[in-house]
């Protein structure tokens, strides 16, 4: 939660610098992804997107979801051979989010707890799509 508070403060600072909130994408890998879920889904200003990589939705039972981000573009990516955060946790987060009314784009890759070239290409495509 302390990490989420720091990221929330960073977002507020960028907003005060006249960065449009819809141009702010929250992304995280592994434990950083758990923080990203908390920040993006509870932020009371509309954000541009949420990218969660090889992670889990740690605060699903306690988060106070914001109405402002009910339609946030969400991309979840996971390695099918991940020994650190099993892919089942990424799939579980997807299911939980869909039950909460979110639209989620889920992708998996033949990798462990890592980032692969195809994933980077997919992220690039997604970012161009949501920021255009």
Q: What is the pLDDT of residues 64-122, one digit of tens each?
A: 999 999 999 999 999 999 999 999 999 999 999 999 999 999 999 999 999 999 999 99
What is the DSSP annotation of 16-39?
A: HTT--GGG-EEEEETHHHHHHHHH
Q: Which residues are catalytic?
A: 30, 82, 113
Q: Domain range holding 23? A: 2-131
Percent helix, strand, coil in the chain (nearest 5)?
A: 45, 15, 35
Structure tokens at 73: 């573009």
Q: CA angle, 114 as apex, 46 and 132 as ends, to 5°?
A: 35
User: Are the CB atoms for 38 and 52 separated by under 8 Å?
Assistant: no
For residue 71, the model assigns a pLDDT of: 97
Q: Looking at the 3D structure of the chain, how many domains does it have?
A: 1
Whichever domain contains 116, its CATH number is 3.40.50.1820
CA 98 – CA 128 distance, rounded (Å)? 24
Structure tokens at 88: 């089942």
Q: Which position has the token pair 């946030």?
A: 72
For residue 108, the model assigns a pLDDT of: 98
Q: What is the pTM of this model?
A: 0.96
Q: What is the pLDDT of residues 17-60, one digit of tens each?
A: 999 999 999 999 999 999 999 999 999 999 999 999 999 999 99
For residue 101, the model assigns a pLDDT of: 96
Q: What is the pLDDT of residues 119-132, one digit of tens each?
A: 999 999 999 999 99
């Amino acid at each position: 939660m302390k990490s989420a508070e720091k990221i929330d403060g960073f977002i507020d600072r960028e907003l005060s610098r006249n960065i449009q909130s819809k141009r702010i994408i929250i992304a995280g890998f592994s434990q950083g992804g758990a923080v990203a879920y908390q920040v993006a889904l509870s932020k009371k200003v509309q954000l541009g997107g949420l990218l969660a990589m090889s992670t889990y939705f740690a605060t699903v039972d306690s988060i106070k979801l914001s109405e402002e981000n009910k339609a946030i573009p969400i991309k979840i990516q996971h390695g099918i051979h991940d020994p650190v955060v099993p892919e089942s946790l990424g799939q579980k987060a997807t299911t939980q989010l869909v039950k909460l009314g979110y639209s989620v784009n889920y992708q998996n890759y033949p990798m462990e707890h890592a980032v692969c070239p195809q994933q980077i290409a997919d992220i690039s495509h997604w970012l161009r799509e949501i920021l255009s």
